[in-house]
Amino acid sequence: MAPFTYLLFLGVLFLWAGCATDASQLRVRADAGDAEAQYQLASMYGEGKDLDQDQSQALKWYQRAAQNGHREAQMRVAELYEAGHDVQQDYLRASQWYERAADQGDVGAQVRLAKLYIKGYGVPQNYAEALKLLERAAARREAEAEFLLGNLYREGRGIPKDLVRAHMWFNLAAAQGHAGALHLRDVAATELDLKQLAEAQKLAVQKLQDKKQ
C-alpha cells in the first residue's frame, strides 16, 4: 500500500472510531437520564449522522428528553404528533407537548399552540386562550404571532373587531419581513380613514418603544 493511501486509510479509520466513541459516550449519558444527551442522540438517529438512520429510535429518545423537560425535544415531539410524521397524527398530544414547551418560554410553541386553539384541533376552540399565547410571543417580537394577532383583530374573533389594532399588528410583523402581514397591512390601510391610519401607525411606534425599554 502506498504511503499516502495508507495514511488516508488510517485517517478514515481514526475518524470512524472517534465517531463511534462519541456516539457510545452519548448513549451512556442518555441511558443515565441526561436530557441533552437524549436530545442529541435522537437528532443523530433522525438525521442518520454518525448512526444508522432510525426514526423509531429518534422518536424514542426525543420522547425521553421531552419527558425530562428538554424544551427543544418537547417542541420536536409536538411537531411530529401534529404532522403525523413517524407517529399517528394526534392533535391532543401535540397540544400537550406544545403547552409544556410554551410554559418554558418557547415562542414557537406558543404560536403553534395558539393556532391549535384557533382551529380547535386537539383542544376546544378558544380565541381568548389563543390571544394570551400570541401576546406572550408578540412581546418577544415573534412576527408570526404579530401577524395572527392582526388577523384576530381584523376579523373580530374572540375580541371586538378593531381595524386600527389590526393594522398596528400587521405593521409590526411586516417590519420584520412577514409577507402575509405586509399584504394585509396594505389591505387594512384601505379600510381606515386618515385619522385611524395615523392612530394605527402611532400605536405601532409606541409598541416598538415599549419593547426597547
Q: Residue 78: what pLDDT?
A: 97
Q: Residue 82: what pLDDT?
A: 97
Distance between CA atoms of 30 and 25, rounded to whole angstroms?
Answer: 9
Residue 153 lies in a domain: yes
Could you tell me the three cell numbers for 57? 429510535
Residue 208 lies in a domain: yes
Give the C-alpha distances (Å, rounded to integers) separating 81 from 62, 87, 98: 12, 6, 10
Q: Tell me what the mean pLDDT of segment 79-105 comes to.
A: 96
Residue 204 lies in a domain: yes
Q: Please, what is the average pLDDT of the chain? A: 90
Q: Report pTM.
A: 0.85
Residue 43 lies in a domain: no
pLDDT at 154 over 60: yes
Per the structure, the count of domains in the chain is 1
pLDDT at 178 over 90: yes
Residue 28 lies in a domain: no
Residue 83 lies in a domain: no
The model's confidence at residue 209, banded by pLDDT at 50, 70 and 90, is confident
Phi, psi of 132 (to 5 degrees): -60, -45
Residue 190 lies in a domain: yes
Terminal-residue alpha carbon distance, the chain: 68
Burial class of 204 by CB neighbour count within 10 A (0 to 12, 13 to 18, 19+): buried
Residue 182 lies in a domain: yes
Query: Could you list the residue range(s) of the whole structural domain that residue 161 is in?
Result: 141-213
Give the C-alpha distances (Å, rounded to integers) separating 114 from 123, 136, 163, 210: 10, 11, 21, 24
Sorted by sequence, the CB contacts under 8 Å of residue 115 that are 6+ apart come out as 130, 148
